[in-house]
Amino acid sequence: MEPEELTFQEIKEITDGFAQELGRGSFGVVYKGLTKTGKDVAVKLLLNHINIDYKQFHNEFNSLAMLQHPNIVQLLGYCYETKRKPMKYNGRQLIVEETHRVLCLEYLHNGSLRKYLSDVAEDFIIGRTDEKKKIIDSLIEAMTEKIIILPIYGIGGIGKTTFARLIYNDANFRFYSQVWVHVSPIFDLKKIGDSIISQLPEKQRQTKKNLIVLDDLWEDNPFLLEDLKVMLNLGDSINTIVLVTTCSEHVAEKICTNIKPYKIKHLTNDMCWEIIKQRSAFETRDDKKYLTSIGKDIALKCGGVALAAQSVGFMLRSMKSSQWMEVKNNNIWKESISDDASLQNQVLASLKLTYSYMDSCLKPCFTYCAMFPKGQKIHKDDLIQQWISLGFIKPTEIHSIMELCEKYVVQLLGLSFLQHSMSAPTYEGAYREKQDTLFTMHDLVHDLAVLLLGDEIMDQRQQGNTLSSSCRYALVTDSSKPLELCLSSCARLTALRFIDCRRTELCGSAFAPANFLRVLDLRECHIQKLPESIGQLQQLSYLKAPEIQDQLIPDCITQLSKLNYLYISGSEISALPESIGEMAGHVHLDISFCSEIEQLPLSFRNLENLVHLDLSHCSLITGVSESLGSLRRLQHLDLRWCTSIGEELPGALGSLTELQYLNLSHCSYLDVPDAEVLGNLNKLKYLNLSSAASPLRRLPESLGSFTELEYLNLSGCRQLEELPASFGKLCSLTKATRELQILSGSHEQAHRTTLFKFIKFGVFLWKPVNEDPTVLEISSLENVKSVEEAKTVKLLEKRMIYDLKFEWTRDAKRFVEDIEVLTELVPPCNVQSFFLQGYNSLTFPSWMMGITSYLPQLSYVSLKELPWCSALPPLDEESGGHLQTQSDKAVDQHLREKIQRLTKLVIQHVIRDAKPSRMSMRCTEAEGRHLVKRKKAPYDAGHITVESSATNPWEMQPAVAIARLPECEHAYNLVGEPGGVRTW
């Protein structure tokens, strides 16, 4: 077995941060470690001061790798990683390189190996900046029209989708309702319309501005295209921008309105070289000088197509210099890859070349993706489970099956063989988004997978009624006919999927002859009754059969000893087979929305290998508590809306210490005052305890040990009295609930209520239990989904608030314009300290423009990061609504004009009668000297400061007006040293 390449982060996790040292020698230190598969390993970390270059390290690695003997410690893995990091030296900021050289050997223990992250960095986008600006300017100019349809066309792989994504994500459209639809090669107007509606919630359908992307349109029928245009016209009062990507200039000409179709240009050779350098981590290589000319020659072969450069670049990342030369001289560049003249040869050549260098274990994982129709979203978990069921993934000494799956997904994403879907993110935060990760395949990548499989795959949509010879994978369009009508032999068939078969009833002969099936996907079938012939498929490992209409599923299904994935969500079955416990190897079970099931069989507790269990929306189900204690390997448990499951949290739930996902939302288990039973579940990443009216008063005291918790939902927990003292230790928490309670506690005075500050969570709309809070901070206001949501805060009713802060995250995408949110957040009149940060609208609501009238007790004001602000609120009534200066008229007018470009104003420590005693501001050197040219008696009440991050504070951008100090008739001398804060 070949040694595996590991990242330094993985090494750190294997050794638990190099926690246990075994010994050290002149060249390095050896630590104990343990992989997730339970394999004991020894990790040798070579010392940094030892002058071992890559060549010497590679020699040692090769020598160890060649030693294969039962009495010799085997090399299992290695790491050679160079990273750059900032460092201060003699007051100067330097960038230094740090190289980690590690060997992973047999026979040690202690530590953990966490999975590869499924997310990859955003695509490197080269050479489209000018094109993007040109397009956006033309769209904005044409916005007088109620609908604009702009087609973007060009050859496959050139970057049309990526370019559309650049426009889609641009800040100019941040307040638009946005929709992204992939148009199937088989044009279906209803599906397109349904997709648009599903991405526009009811409250957003009348939004004045919409941005819709129709990706990969092929249809050229003029009548159908006219119907599409009519459907996209959402109303006379609504402005709609539609971006359409297509390979056909003919289609582009037919679909456009009000604006000329845009042909996306080929990248230059230099641009392709830049992409290759980025994808291959070229700048970190020691041999980059030698490789530059070779790399440029490879870039030339990419033909100006981004997809070609991306896939080749990532492939080159792990290659030696000699392999770069092999790639450059490879004959694939000269071959005619496909008989289809419309396909760009450079793209397919680069993709085929990349495939040829793939690890042998990754190749079948990639080609199997051809089983997902073009343009269809691929659920990551679905793909992985099918890989496992087909036996593509074999555990190694270092990595478990799931870790290898994650690793392969990362590699396919890096090669651009898979791409993240542009679907709108789910609401339930970062962790939930990872669970629902969706991928798509570029059409040309899909073509390559089909091309490579050849006769190994049969797609009845393409081949019609032609009788296919023996194949391994099949997509069939009629589930009511015997399988032999489209396959001459089923002996090699291992994966079968039915497409668009909801109009015909599933019959047993549609799959029964395929005795060696491992994957059977019936999600697009009408299943009146699951046929008894399912019991013949003794090799079956994966079965997806949702929405079964019959009340029972065949008992013979429990005899499928190799079945480890069963999905029957939404079925009308009233019971599971009593013998279900015989499926001892079962790993993944989803019976969600099976609302007729009343009781789990007693044998259910025998499913001890279950890792994933979804019973959500099984509103009548009972018998769960009795089985939980045996399911010790569960990592995912979803009991949402299980309203008959029991009236208290069972103690057995606390024994499921491997749980990472637990959803008890609106579950009857929450009818308890405390959740202490959950205290042992410290591996949780997702925890949902939301309810309409939960009596929950206390959370586990050990909650602070849930260091991996990323999502917490306590919506509706109105009786919650306090958070555990350790709550602040939840360093991974990225999003807490949309709606939380004020927690009773102690402040400076015992009778007041404390508001705990949650800096990095989502938006917090706090509601009082008994008393009003004295301090209220509402951060991440960009997460407010609607004006109605902002209204629920009812700040005017919270009479005890003295300190109030509103904050939007800088550059974050908004769902509602800031001024609409702030309009609803009118504070009570007794507020003394007011903070506003990250506000993006041009103007303020009326209560802000009359802030001294609304808040007569105001003594402290802070306004920060107002990048679009065109007019500031008055700070005293006498100013007549304007900020004023004490300078002469010329400079006064000069400064007043600069209010229009205000970027930051901080007013601090204002005395009770609203007369500022300290103000931070920005100004130019000339303006500052004008203010201090008349030295008079010092003003004891306060002073003004100039703050700047620039080395020379006078080199800052002029962007501030000077506020009037009502009692101040004097200017001040400039003191202090250059580079610091200057006081007048």
Over the range 761-775, which residues count as b (16 or more CB within 10 Å of their CB) and which as e? bbbbbbebeeebbbb
Distance CA 903, CA 958 (A): 10
Neighbouring residues of 792: CB distance < 8 A, sequence distance ≥ 6: 739, 765, 767
Token pair 């003794």 is at which residue? 538
| Helices assigned H by DSSP within 538-646 | 625-628
Task: Please name every residue paired with 736 in a beta bridge, in sequence order, or none if there are none.
Answer: 712
Q: What single-letter DSSP state applies at residue 226?
A: H
Task: Please name every residue paired with 33 in a beta bridge, in sequence order, or none if there are none.
Answer: 41
SS3 37: coil
Q: How many residues does the chain have?
A: 984
Query: Which amino acid type is present at position 584?
Result: A
| Widest pairwise Cα distance in the chain | 103
Cα first-last separation, the chain = 74
Q: Is the CB of residue 296 less than 8 Å from the CB of residue 271?
A: no
Distance CA 413, CA 614 (A): 28
Distance CA 716, CA 703 (A): 19
Q: Which two tokens stand for residue 862?
A: 């802070």
Q: Is the CB of residue 624 less than 8 Å from the CB of residue 645?
A: yes
| Count of CA atoms in the C-beta half-sphere (13 A) of 251 | 22
Name the nearest CA neighbour of 757 among 712, 696, 708, 807: 807
Q: Is the CB of residue 391 less than 8 Å from the CB of residue 364?
A: no
- Indicate if the alpha-carbon torsion angle 929, 935, 936, 942 is positive or negative: positive
Q: Which two tokens stand for residue 615?
A: 């019973």
CA–centroid distance for 490 within its chain: 41
Q: From the CB of residue 143, how many other CB atoms can be counted at a distance below 10 Å? A: 12
Neighbouring residues of 302: CB distance < 8 A, sequence distance ≥ 6: 272, 276, 308, 309, 312, 346, 350
CA–centroid distance for 331 within its chain: 39
Query: Phi and psi of 11, rounded to 5°?
Result: -60, -45
* Crossing angle (nearest 10°) for helices 345-356 and 306-316: 20
Neighbouring residues of 118: CB distance < 8 A, sequence distance ≥ 6: 380, 406, 409, 410, 434, 437
Name the nearest CA neighbour of 110 among 44, 43, 47: 43
DSSP secondary structure string for all residues of 666-709 = T-GGG-SSB-GGGGG-TT-SEEE---SS----B--GGGGG-TT-
Q: Known binder of ligand: residue 915? A: no
Distance CA 973, CA 935 (A): 6
Distance CA 430, CA 422 (A): 16
Distance CA 225, CA 981 (A): 64
Neighbouring residues of 242: CB distance < 8 A, sequence distance ≥ 6: 147, 148, 149, 150, 212, 213, 214, 232
Name the nearest CA neighbour of 510 among 531, 495, 538: 531
Distance CA 474, CA 917 (A): 78
Beta strands at 565-567 and 588-590: parallel, antiparallel or unpaired: parallel
Name the nearest CA neighbour of 981 among 933, 940, 948, 941: 948
DSSP secondary structure string for all residues of 518-554 = SEEE-TTEE-SS--GGGGG-TT--EEE-----SS---
Known binding residues are: 44
Known binding residues for ATP are: 44
